[in-house]
Amino acid sequence: MSKTDPGGASRRGLLAASAGMGAAAITGFPMVARSQGRRPIRIGMPTILSGRVAQLGISSRDAVLMEVEKFNAEGGLDGRPIEVIVRDSRGVPAEAARLAREMISDGVDILFDGEPSSGGFAVHEVVRETGTLTLHINTETSAMSADPKQRFWNAFRIARQGIHDSIAGGVYAAEIVKAKNLRRWMTVSPDYAYGRDTTAEFIEYLKYFTPDVQVVGETWPKLFQPDYTENVTRLAQGRPQAVYSCLWAGDLVAFVEQAALYGLFSQSQYFAVNMADYTTLKQIKQLPRGVHSGNRYLSSYPAQPTNAAFGRDYQRRYNNYPTNWAWQAATAVHLTTAALKKVGSTDPRQLASALRGLTIDSPFGADGKVTMRAEDQTLVGYAIGWGTTIPAEPYVEGIKTADWNQITQLEQEWKKGKGWA
């Protein structure tokens, strides 16, 4: 046994330990996890935790943590728990890509990309190079999985997809067009990949089912634009019978408030695909009645006990409502843990192989199940429905469920048209 100077050694030791703990606290480096015999499965997650859409990012993180906790409580993967490392990208694509690189170099096993399309494509390019198993949980732009050039073995989309919503929306809107003779349309959508693509796809399917519809004007506010007056007056001048919008979250709330001042909701029928999400529904103080919306997340739809239970558990735990990003994040955990159990390890190639074609029971499935479609590594089978808003719970009524057979068939034709199938 060696002898040491007790006074000096303890002071130095104390300083060293303090410095180490301080560094750990500052960097968030999971020292404790590393020291355990069974190394945790580490999932890195860049998402938006501050700014106009923070509520969505926060709900995405919270849903992941809630579902991971259940998995860990059941013993994890043969005793290995999942550890989630979440960082705030502030909605800046370059920052999301930087965080993804940082997490990968820190040795995460799996990446949950919690960015919308604006940042999702930036992260996509990072993991194309690194080969990290990545689940895009909030990117809805169809091209990410539909375009073969964007597809590679380690990237999966576990989110709703623009083309699916557009086909479902087109079918629903066509019925209303026929019933109410709505021929003059205008659009107001955010000016970036998701807004442009999704709007074009919706109009394509609206015209597919009702060819005599005319788009008489369009206006494209920037993502996170503070003021929508010019867009609102443009709509007011166009005097459309119907308006389509895929604005979302805080942008949609600000737009609705400003459009209400101009009385637009009494002039035209509104089809706002992203309205029926609690993040929006709860923030708009006087929700207009009768706005047509697709379901983003509603605990009442799909009307399954497991979905209602998910909504209840989430609300009890966080004193807030889940969002569209929450169900997608929860589904990412469900699919990942199912694949982990199937493979028994974190080998990315084996996990990717297990994920391809994987079908699981899901609270959010149209028929109680969702599938990670093998051919383009994207989620299918989730519940899609359109209905009209009402100012109180359950906020949307008369929801008509979309037919996945029709969606799949038209999606395939759409891909062929693009030269992607």
Partner 1 sequence: MDLGELAACMGSLPCVITQVSAGLTIGLLLFLVASGLTLIFGVLGLVNFAHGTLYMLGAYFALSAYELTESFLVATLAGTLGVAVFGLLMERTLFRRIYGADVLMQLLVCYAVILIMDDVVKIVWGGDFLKMDMPETFRRPPLLIGGGIVPLFYLVLFGITLAVALLLALGMSRTRFGRTVRAAAVNPAMVASLGVNTSFVFAAVFAVGSGLAGLAGALSAPIRSVVPGAGVSILIESFIVTVIGGMGSIGGALAAALLIGLTRSFGSIGFPLFTEGLMFLMMAAILLVKPSGLAGKHLA
Note the residues at the interface with partner 1 (CB under 8 A): 49-55, 58, 88, 90, 217-220, 222, 224-227, 229-234, 236-237, 249-251, 253-254, 257-258, 261-263, 266, 283-286
Which of 208, 220 has the CB closer to partner 1?
220
Q: How far is the CB of 314 from partner 1 (least distance, A)?
A: 16
Which of 61, 124 has the CB closer to partner 1?
61
Q: How far is the CB of 50 from partner 1 (least distance, A)?
A: 4
Which of 51, 368 has the CB closer to partner 1?
51
User: Token digits for 286?
Assistant: 């006087």
Which of 15, 200 has the CB closer to partner 1?
200
Which of 283, 408 has the CB closer to partner 1?
283
Q: How far is the CB of 7 from partner 1 (least distance, A)?
A: 41
Q: How far is the CB of 242 from partner 1 (least distance, A)?
A: 18
Which of 104, 329 has the CB closer to partner 1?
329
Q: At what angle do helices 193-209 and 117-130 cross, to 10 degrees?
A: 110
Beta bridge partners of 156: 135
Backbone dihedral angles phi then psi of residue 104, each to the nearest 5 degrees: -65, -40
Which of 225, 350 has the CB closer to partner 1?
225
Q: How far is the CB of 64 from partner 1 (least distance, A)?
A: 17
Which of 171, 193 has the CB closer to partner 1?
193
Q: How far is the CB of 122 from partner 1 (least distance, A)?
A: 19
Q: What is the distance between the alpha carbons of residues 338 and 342, in angstroms, rounded to a whole number? A: 6
Q: How far is the CB of 286 from partner 1 (least distance, A)?
A: 7
∠ at Cα 182 (177, 187), nearest 5°?
100
Q: How far is the CB of 315 from partner 1 (least distance, A)?
A: 16
Beta bridge partners of 135: 112, 156
Q: Position of tokens 């239970």? A: 309
